Every structure is written in structure tokens, then in C-alpha cells.
Structure 1
Amino acid sequence: MTDSFDIAVIGGGNAALCAAITAAEAGARVLILEAAPKPYRGGNSRHTRNFRCMHSRPLGPLTDSYSEQEYFDDLIKVTGGKTNENLARLAIRGSEECLPWMEERGVRFQPSLSGTLSLSRTNAFFLGGGKGLVNAYYRTAAALGIEVRYEAPVTHLDVEDGKINGIEFTQNGTTHRVSPKAVVVASGGFQADTDWLARAWGPAAKNFLIRGTPYNRGVVLADLLEQGVEQVGDPTQCHAVAIDGRAPKFDGGIVTRLDCVPFSIVVNKDAERFYDEGEDVWPKRYAIWGRLVAAQPEQVGYVIIDAKSLELFMPSVFPPIKADTLEDLAGKLNLPADRLCATVEEFNAACGDTSAFHPTELDSVATSGLTPPKTNWARPITEAPFYGYTLRTGVTFTYLGLKVNENAQCSIGNRPMSNLWAAGETMAGSILGQGYLAGFGMTIGTVFGRIAGREAVAHAN
């Protein structure tokens, strides 16, 4: 296999496929090395729903317009300014031309979902979800003659003099080596290695759930970092959301996400509130709740709502825990009943006029004199039956990754490597210093996947 391929792409998700397709369309012989079995191909992209896209006028399923500056401002809000502005704007500007590119390669879109998402102007939703997108790209890859090796995890990249000389991977119990002209790494973060998470976070990480694929263990990332390839990002920063506590350890995906927080109060195991549940519209603030829950005792939180809020959000795959009284709900959630009732009573007393309540917009229906406050959607919890969910930290992907430049090129010793590029979650920390913006991971993967494919094939040629 030594000289069979111009380009090897490590990974099998959105970024990898965008890179592989771009390179193959330019005439390159491309190999994809996917660690997962074929039914589980696609990495975390299988679980995605949408793509955040800049546009100057209505585009495909997107309404109105969404400017570069508004997009960037939204990103700054969630990252607290911890971003590389040059790379962030590159991703944002590149997103507009990506949507028709995606459609031309078989991806189909649908109108935005109802509920608390409110994204018809900013995010294009995939028909069939992420699995539909992944399958469309694999069909395109097959038509282009791209070779895909499944259950073929990469174990080592041979780095010498600023260049990748060869790639070792295993398949069917045998070690293989390939020496392509160019390499694109798109193999995700390290979140599925819970020992690595625990080294970064401490023992609390053992209680985290992993929303996506169990195959993103950071083997390639660790191998390259150990050989001096430049890194970016904080190992404790990640895309972490609060998900249903009944979700499986791995691969629960998008259906375990809970969108009910804005219409609830959230308490810890002592039945005490700990943060403003109404801080902002959910697509901009949902990603902070994973870290908030991680900081609570036993890394668990509890959502409390009443009957009038039950239909305002997209339900989880699991039904809520239901009780006719708060005392009974506390018992079912293993919370101290007296403290939960007191917390709800304090919250209810702090609520004021709710006539301006609007579930999909910031409505300023806020509490008064309560710490922490609830600054929007603050309605008393009074209408039986009452409902509860447990919350756990669900990690989507980690931000420690490979540092890249505007050409998606990796570097070593402050010098660009001659034949190594990176795209997707494995380099997203170059842009995401903290926090997350709904649909932005797919933007990064698509834009930088295409850039990496373009640059890799230019080198190979």
C-alpha cells in the first residue's frame, strides 16, 4: 500500500468526508481510515442536526439574513472572547458557500424544528439528521472512487523533519503502513478516553457521560502532540451540555439532550438552585450547563417544572418523572422534600407579572430579589402534576487539539509541516476557547475540511 494513495484522511465524520471529497474531485487518490465499524461510521457527525450558516439573503431553508458580524458577535458571547478571530471569521465567511456545496453532494435540508430552538434564520437542519448527511457524503465518496477502510484505527504517524513519512493502522488484527503524499487528520477529540478526561478534570470526570462515538479516544492527537506537533486549547474545555441522566455512557446522541431548562428551576442534590436558568435563548446558552452541573455535588442536577411548561420544549427520548405533589416528586428524585418545597416557594414568591411571557424570545419576565435570579421566563411552579429530570454532564467533544493556520496546516517548532493538515473537532480548539454555539462545530468541520482537502491535493500535485 506504500505508494497507492496521494492523500490519507484519518477519521470518517463530516470534516474527514469534506476533505476527502474535495481532494478526490481534484483528481487525488484518497484513502479514508475510519476506526469505527461501518454501521457506526461518521463519528459525532452521526448525532448532529444542523449547520450554522452566514447568509446575506434567504438561502435554502434559511430565512431572512445572518451577517458575518452578527454571527461573530454570537460566537463572542459564548466564548467570552476566547477565540482566534482570524480563523473564526474564516469559518463564518466560508459557511455561506458551503450550503449549496453540500446540496450538490447529496445533503438535503428541512425547515427548522419547532420548540425552543428558534433557529430558522441561523441554522440549516439536515433532512435525516447527521446520519443522513454522513450517508450522502459516503455515497458521493464511493462514486468518486475514494477507498474507505473501516475498523482501521490509526496507531502511529511517523513524524520526521516536519513531515509525515508514514501512517500505521491496524485492521483485522494486522498492522499496515501507508505512505501518502499528504495527510489530513480529522479524527476528533479525546473525550471517549475517560482516563484522559479524569487527568484533566479530576475524578469528577468519571461521572461524565459521552454524548457521541466511543471511538474518539484521542490516539492520533496524543501521538502527534508527543512528537512535538503544536497544540492549542485547554484540556478542561469542551463542548459539554446537560443531558438526561438516564442516557447511556456513550453514543446517546442528540435525543438525550434536554431543552427544558429555560422553563424550569434547576437544583442540585441539596435542592438548592445554583444558576440563572433564563440567562439567554437556549441555542446560545445550553452548552454552559454541562460545566455548571459538573461543578455540583456528585455532578448531578435536577430540573423541576410544572404542567403548564411541559409542552414548551422538545422532549427527551426518556419521559419525565411525574408526581402529583412536589413532596412526591422529591421522593422520586431522592431530593430532600422540605428543602425542595422551600426552594420552589422562594422562587414562586420572587416571580412577578407573567403576562409578557414568550417562550421563544427573551421576555424579561424575571424574578425580583432572588439569588441567583432568573432573568427570563420566570413563572411560578404551581400547576400539578409536577415533573422532573435528572441532569448529567454530557461531553460532545474536547477542545485540546492541533493548532492550525488559515490553510488548516499543522506546525511543529513554529514552522508549518509540509504535508499535515487538520480539520473538525481535532482542531476546533483553534477557534473555540470555551463555550459553544449551536451548529458551529459542523461549520468548522465543513469549512476547514474543504480547506484541508484543497491544500492537501495542491501539495500532492
Structure 2
Amino acid sequence: MADVIVVGAGNAAFAAAVSAAEQGASVTVLERAPRALAGGNTAFTAGAMRFAYDGVDDLRRLMPDLTDAEAAVTDFGAYPEAQFFEDMGRVTDYRTDPELCEALVTQSRPTMFWMRDKGVRFAPIWGRQAFKVDGRFKFWGGLTVEAAGGGPGLLEAWTAIAARAGIEVLYGARAVSLIADDGGVRGVRVKQGGVTHDLPAKAVVLAAGGFQANTEWRTRYLGPGWDLAKVRGSRFNTGDGLRMALEIGAMPTGQWSGSHAVQWERNAPEFGDLAVGDGFQKHSYPFGILINARGERFLDEGADFRNYTYAKYGREVLKQPRQFAWQVFDAKVRHLLRDEYRIRQVTRVSADSLEALTAKLEDVDAARALETIHAFNAAVRTDIAFDPNVKDGRGTTGLAIPKSNWANRLDTPPYEAYAVTCGVTFTFGGVRIDPSAAVLDVDLAPIAGLYAAGEMVGGLFYENYPGGTGLMAGAVFGRIAGASAGVAARG
């Protein structure tokens, strides 16, 4: 019998397991997937983590490998807690739960240092969050650090840390239901190798992800058309943890009709492919324009830094006819496109003239697309300098749908276009927890012995989220949930 059972084996789950072990608890982790496919959505992420820091000294403490030469040519800036709070409020229309948001922001920095002390390594996000202008890098959008090796590297680090802590991980072990009575949760019913059996425990942490891989639930909660979206990550995140909690009276909370959804390779497979990872995403759209099947633009590509729009723009693509769009660029910005545009599994067309390019845009009204591009070109302000590192104000005038920043005329061949659809990352609806990460029931009383972390926690995100906050929230609330479960189990 384990003191604590953790359901899930991604970033939040391992943070919970390690934190519980710190309290002296014996811990068993249940992973539904086989080992080769383990790790939930963590295995598919780029590993970016948003946290509050005061300046380069904090970063050098977190990343001791950062050299003096690298620091000298880089403006890392600062990301104070006040800015983190403001970003969380602004992008969620100030709906984010105040208690959860406070825990996320104030615990982000100590949690990062805790992870580093445990053995997780971090590195600056050179290629994706800073462009070199006049010999100097400038980070933008409040996001500076990623786990070394991205999501797979983070998962590898957590797995090694758990092994050193004596934590048992059972693969191919699907949690079927919670064992509970009037006194609270007593363990988990598990199906492994075709056999169902009960695993008793003194406390359980649910960290099994959202319901994004459940087509029926997506349609039920997110709405019509969401059954046609791609799933960015694990096919095993079908809402089992949420179902188990709700079955014993947990209070649902947050935006069950909302999700983190991005622009994703149109012809990507139904679920994420670990061999490609996050390479199907297409996040350089601020430097081009998007064209739908009618040959029209439909959103402000430069409304804000990519970090603050990418998680909601997938939904806008899903709303378009046939659920797709083309991102269009010219040669002036080719060097700014992220590495994901260079993978083999990409739907791409190129041409030396706009007429030839629009003719190649499959399923698009080519004549209208050409008109749209010409109208955009005529509307671009050229009196403001283009700068990819700041919100440069180089926009358009006179268009029904403006482009607010980073507007460049499409006038330099060769031209390129990439086909995208909607890729769902995770769902925003979840269970209600208190500041100790205890799951609350429908009467808002803690369910004894039950805690939750990661994508299963509702109330943090609404409509949108700041990039890098998902992994950070998983680590923060995983650490809190694990500590609470460990203390309860040992107490």
C-alpha cells in the first residue's frame, strides 16, 4: 500500500509525486500510457515556463551555464510579479481565479528553483523568444526560459528524479475510478494488463490532464465543430481524471467551453506524434497574414506578441469555412520563421509572384485572395520601422480588420504559404481546488484525501492564456498538491 497515489505521469504529476516523497510518503504513480508513449502533454511541449524574475541575476542562478558573453549580448529584461498578474488578468478578461492566480504567480519563482535543485536543467529560449537586432538579443513577451531538451527533456529529468526518490511508476495502468466513502478517498481502482484491481492509499493526487482527446466531450462542452479539431498532444487525455472526480461529487469549475487551441499543420494526424513533437505548430503568423477559403483575412495577426494570442487563434481558424487557413509570408521575413516551418511534414506552397502563389492555395478563392493581399499591401504604414522584438506599431490603415504591429508589404519574392487548422492543446474546464490543492465537493467542502494539479484544475484560464503558463501552473500546483497529500498521508 502506497501512502500517496498520483494519477498521471506528466510534469504536474511528477512534481506532485516528488513533493509528496519529500514529506516522507511512499508514492506510486499510475500512467495510463505504455512507457514509450508516457508523459501526457508534457512530452509534446516545447518546455517553455513563464515565471516571475527580477533580472539577469535570477536567471543566472537558475541557469549557471549561462556565460558572461551570452549575458553581455542579451537583454533579458525583468518580469516582475506585478506584470505576471497583469498578463494573467488581461488575457483572461480578468476572470482568472484570484486565489489560484496568486499562488501561480507568487510560487512560480521558488518552484523553478525547487525544480532546479531537484535536477531539472533550464536554458534561455534563444530561437523562439528573442531575435538578434544590431548584434543584440532582446527577449519579449515575458517568456525567457525553457526546460533543457524541451518537453521530452523535462519528462526525462522528472523520471530520473522520481527514480532517485524511490517513487514507483506503473505504466499501462489506467485509473478506472476512485475508491471513496463518507470518510473520503481511500485509493484507486486500476486496470492493468487486462486485469482490474484496487490499490489502497491514504491520499490521491489527480494529475491526468484535460479531456481534449475525447471527441465526444469536446463536442459536448466546447461546442459543434470541435470534433473536427486536431489534438496536439497525447491521445490518452480523455478526461478520465475529471470523470472520476465528478463521480464522487467534486465541484466542476472554470470555462468548460474553453480550451488552449493553436494554429496547427492542416494535414497533421488526429493526435500528436512524438517523433514530431510540437513541430506541427505554426507560430510565426505575426510576421505574415492569414487567408481563409474565401480569400479573406479574418483576424489581426499583429494584435499582440505571439505569447498572448496563439492559444486563442486556433479557435478563430476553426471557425473558418472548412476549418483551415493559409499563413502567407514573403522573403523579407523568411529568416524570422521558427524551425517548425522547416520540418518535412508541412503543407507548403511557394511562388515567385503573388498571382502564382494564390493560384496554388488549395481550396481558396484565388482571385479574392489576390485582391486581399493587394489591399493589405496598400494599407501598410511604411513610416514606422519594423522591429520584431517590440510591439512596433507598424500597422495598417483603412482595413476592416487591421494589423496592429509588424505589418510588412508582401512584395519580395519568393512568396510562401503554409496551411493550418486548429490544434487543441488542453481544455480549461476542471475541478475546483482550494489553496492547498484539495479538491472541493459541490458543497465547497474539501474531499478528504483528494488533491488535483495540472490541466485538471479549473478556474485559471478563460478564453486565452499567456504562453508558458501551463507547465508553470502544473509544477506549482503539483508541488502544492503533493506536499498536501504527503502531509495528510503521514499525519
TM-score range, shorter chain: over 0.9
Contact 2:209-2:241 at 8 Å conserved across structures: no
Matched, 1:281 2:309: no
**Aligned position for 1:299:** 323
CA distance in 2, matches of 1:28, 1:198: 40
Residue from 207, 228, 232 that aligns with 1:186: 207
Alpha-carbon distance change, 369 to 418 in structure 1, aligned in 2, over 3 angstroms: same
2:427 alignment partner in structure 1 = 398
Q: Does 1:426 align with 2:425?
A: no
Matched letter for residue 95 of structure 2: K
Alignment-derived partner of residue 387 in structure 1: 416
Matches of 1:228 and 1:417 in 2, distance apart? 9
Whether 1:60 aligns to 2:59 is yes
**Does residue 184 of structure 2 align to residue 163 of structure 1?**
yes
Which of 364, 371, 377 is the aligned partner of 2:400? 371
State yes or no: 1:260 paired with 2:260.
no
Q: Is the 8 A contact 2:259 2:428 kept in 1?
A: yes
Name the CA shift for 1:310/1:116 in 2 (closer, same or farther; >3 Å): farther
Question: 1:76: Cα distance to partner?
Answer: 1.6
Partner of 2:359: 331
Task: Calculate the TM-score normalised by the size of structure 2.
Answer: 0.90
Stretch deviating more after TM superposition (113-122 or 198-207): 113-122
Aligned partners of 1:111 and 1:223: how far apart in 2?
A: 39
- CA-to-partner distance for each residue in 1:43-89, whole Å, 9 max, x for gaps? 11112221111123432357443211111111122111110122101
Of residues 126, 130, 137, the one that matches 2:147 is 126
Query: Which residue of 67, 77, 89 maps to 2:102?
Result: 89
In structure 2, relative to structure 1, the CA distance for the partners of 1:162 and 1:247 (3 Å cut) is farther
SS of the residue 2:225 aligns to: helix
- 1:162 and 1:205, CA in 2 relative to 1: closer, same or farther beyond 3 A? farther
2:314 to 281, 290, 299: 290
Deviation at 1:354, TM superposition (A): 5.1
Q: Please give the alpha-carbon distance, in whole angstroms, between the structure 1 residues aligned to 2:410 and 2:78.
A: 37
* CA–CA separation in structure 1 for the residues paired with 2:409 and 2:337: 17
Matches within 5 A, 1:95-106: 95-106=108-119
Distance 1:389 1:440, change over 3 A: same
Normalised TM-score (structure 1): 0.95
Give the one of 88, 99, 111 matched to 1:75: 88
Q: Which moved more, 1:356-365 or 1:184-193?
A: 356-365
Aligned length: 457
Q: 2:239 aligns with which of 208, 218, 222?
A: 218
- Residue by residue over 1:246-290, the C-alpha shift from the partner in whole angstroms, topping out at 9 and shown as x without a partner, is 322111442111122111111211011111111011112211211
Q: Comparing 217-226 with 404-413, which one deviates more in the overlay?
A: 217-226
1:240/1:393 contact within 8 Å kept: yes
- What is the alpha-carbon distance in structure 2 between the residues aligned to residue 88 and residue 76 of structure 1? 9
Answer yes or no: is the 8 Å Cα contact 1:115–1:313 preserved in 2: no
User: Does 1:145 find its partner at 2:166?
Assistant: yes
1:114 aligns with 2:127: yes
Shift of 1:116: 5.1
**Hey, what does 1:23 align to over in structure 2?**
20
1:173 correspondence with 2:187 = no
CA distance in 2, matches of 1:40, 1:88: 31
- The separation in 1 between residues aligned to 2:366 and 2:353, in whole angstroms, is 10
Which consecutive residues of structure 1, in runs of 5 or more, have no partner in the other structure? Answer: none
Deviation at 1:162, TM superposition (A): 5.7
Q: Is the 8 A contact 1:116 1:314 kept in 2?
A: no
Q: In the alignment, which of 370, 374, 380 is matched to residue 341 of structure 1? A: 370
**Matched-pair contact (CA < 8 Å) for 2:50–2:142:** no
Distance 1:213-1:310 versus aligned 2 partners, 3 A rule = same
Counterpart residue number, 2:41: 44
> C-alpha displacement at 1:328, in angstroms?
2.6
How far does residue 27 in structure 1 lie from its aligned partner after superposition? 1.2
> How far did residue 234 of structure 1 move?
2.4
TM-superposed CA distance for 1:315, in Å, is 3.1
- Code of the aligned partner of 2:281: R
Distance 1:281 1:106, change over 3 A: same
Counterpart position of 1:351? 380
Q: Which residue of 2 aligns with 1:451?
A: 480
Structure 2: distance between partners of 1:368 and 1:66: 32
**Is the contact made by 2:141 and 2:305 (CA closer than 8 Å) also made in structure 1?**
no
Does the aligned pair in 2 maintain the 1:110–1:126 contact within 8 Å?
Answer: yes
Say if 1:362 and 1:64 are closer, same or farther in 2 by CA, change over 3 A: closer
1:310 to 334, 337, 340: 334
CA distance in 2, matches of 1:391, 1:7: 43
Alignment check: 8 A CA contact 1:50 1:129 kept: yes
**Of 106-115 and 269-278, the range deviating more from structure 2:** 106-115
1:238: how far off? Answer: 0.7
Q: Deviations over 1:129-168 (max 9, x none)?
A: 1111111111111111111100101111133226113311
Between the aligned partners of 1:453 and 1:116, the Cα distance in structure 2 is: 32
Aligned-residue offset at 1:419: 0.6
Contact kept? 1:211, 1:250, Cα under 8 Å: yes
The answer as to whether partners of 1:37 and 1:150 remain within 8 angstroms in 2 is: yes
Corresponding residue to 2:229 among 208, 211, 214: 208
Of 57-66 and 296-305, more deviation after overlay is shown by: 57-66
Give 1:325 shift.
Answer: 2.4
Question: Could you tell me which amino acid in structure 2 is paired with residue 172 of structure 1?
Answer: G
Task: Structure 2 unaligned segments of length 5 or more: list them.
Answer: 63-75, 131-138
CA distance in structure 2 between the partners assigned to 1:220 and 1:84 by the alignment: 21
Amino acid at match of 2:98: E
